[in-house]
Structure 1
């Protein structure tokens, strides 16, 4: 059975689609504030949740110098934005006397409300190194936040940047969101059990909750892709499996039939090889009678024919070969 071009294309499409689904469900969205374009434009991101880092090699190598980068985080109308820090290590510039970050010197991470409009006003929150206190979680009052990371030109050899997770949330419970156990946020159900700790108390990644979610993966696919798409994918996968089973069945039947044909052929004995040794003279004499031919082994004496010499030596004689006109070696007649 030969597969048609349509079956081959359909099989390739399903493999590519399933690979994309596995990758999209396990990959975590990451955004790096310091990149080669950060001084040229302001980036606006609208994900429900993402991990934002100062640079790509955060926690392993220092961030870049002389950078001023701005990222805008936008949530749907009526929602807010939560920032949860996971790592923080900036150049010390904290003024312990005034208990604030220095407004002039040092590297800083600044948070602005209302996005671009708020950049003209003082930041709502400023984080810098040297305070001795890990940054607390921050929740916005609007649906747009501006995140600005400024680094001066002073070499920093031991400061490895920052990383935080932002999550859009609702302050009240609704049917399409998951309320964190501490009651502070109702996050979208799509970001629950996605390997990102969105709730400040980690309740969205609880083991019991995520095990129950993984047991109902078909429901997740339906909620994510829609019932029609899931049905089409299931039908396509079923068609490919049927084609594979039928192909294997036909191949197995063909192999069995060929084996039966081989086994049904009549047995044919192998040809007798030409003798390479002959009985010695003593063996010849053993066939003759020691007492005048009356006590020896009897043998058949064919009628006399001038074309064949008489049998001698107990039944062994030379044989005339009519094909080549020569006398052959002695053979047993």
Structure 2
């Protein structure tokens, strides 16, 4: 982990993975566990981009054909990278959930093996290896901040962390424009579950998983939300201070720390930078949104 500004803030840089995000862990664990018959049937997946790359690379390394459904507006960098790792790409639907439905329809038709982006025990276990690595390096962490999309990452980390030391707090972070898990966790009704929108496309998910949410409910200490402007500021912070370009989902947990969503003074804090797959052309937009966030923060 990388120490941030000498203030007991430690960054787990999953953006430095070969595919640019933590998703390779879960996909690799799942695909390596498949039987020969399951592998022979080929792999199907649905993804907003990062899981797609993990599946494509893991399948290629095992010599399995893979096909991935991705939302129409997936960043071109993620589409190109997934194709480069050997997967067939189908752009379909406006969100991950719509792409997922298309993939399930094909699975039902041809019997391919589906590798879920988050709602799978072996995928969750693969993501949990992050927690083991963090605690090997910094066993005295008090708090860990984790971004939440469908919940696979935070479920794996929570299971690993709480098994090692139940006193370590695990906080989830969602984008305010895609906050179904936050609302369910805090017993709030969603104004509308039909529409989600955030620049953090990697966590643009309408609902938590059937398997992940019970883990979240049992083991997560709290969940907070961050605005797109706050996420943009965290992206620019990483670019300007750490010389790293990270994606919206990757910056969400850091945004919660920067904007003090939970009191953590004097705590040893771990933060998951979950991915770095973002189009550089968006930097100017991020900068403008970041300035807006700072103005609102100081005005308030």
TM range (shorter): under 0.3
Q: Structure 2 length normalisation: TM-score? A: 0.25
Kindly indicate whether structure 1 or structure 2 has the higher relative contact order, using CA contacts under 8 Å at least 6 residues apart.
2
TM-score computed with the length of structure 1 as normaliser: 0.23
Is the helix fraction higher in 1 or 2? Answer: 2
